[in-house]
Structure 1
Amino acid sequence: MPDSYGPPPKRVVYDFQVLASGKWRTTIDITAPNDSVRHMMVEYRPDGTFAPGGGDTSEADSAAIMVPTPNVLVMNLAKNKRLGSVRVYTVSADGKEMIESAAAINPLGEPFVRNFHYKRVP
């Protein structure tokens, strides 16, 4: 992570679940170095339509999510009805790794894209 993000989290856990009636639920738990946990979740249809978020909304309070292929998820995050960031999650063929590519605007108004690499926990 860039230095401007502060110390990296101890752990980040993503959970993607398929629910009944075509809905999905994504939960994200980020454990900070001091062991505090930010918990975020959203229930949605993976068709690119609006869905309100829940839990910690400091970064985003709603999302639109699409799954164009089985190993790719595209997430558009908003806060107060303004674009927050766009995330693309790609899972490796063996399902053991995931890359998150996040596009946003920095405080100077400059666009950027960053990548994070995750490994599946047993």
Structure 2
Amino acid sequence: MNCEQASFVVDAGTLLQFKASAAVGSDFVGWVGACNDDSNCTVEPNTGLTLTAKFMLKQLNLNYNVTTGGVVQKNVATNYYGELVTFTLIPDEGYRVIRSVQGDCPVGQWA
């Protein structure tokens, strides 16, 4: 079943098995309701059974280095998958910013 919310009828004694699978950029963090925190959940349904899978965006480490001549500020303290992060380059007096990109980021993504 791949849905946000479901309601269905099953025969008495039928076991239901659920497996939580996170989308790219997210992590499964646990169940709320009839299961423990394992990604696989098997329950024997009863009236009013509620089960919710909880997910959160992956938190990423984003490192940068300034050796001399100024500081770098970013617009967020914590970085999450898919989030745009803006860096502000503030040169010290007598210095200027020279565009330099290393790693996997193409120059076109930097302004």
TM-score normalized by the length of structure 1: 0.20
Q: Structure 1 or 2: larger strand share?
A: 1
TM-score normalized by the length of structure 2: 0.21
Q: Whose relative contact order is higher, 1 or 2, with alpha carbons under 8 Å and at least 6 apart? A: 2
Rg comparison, structure with higher value:
2
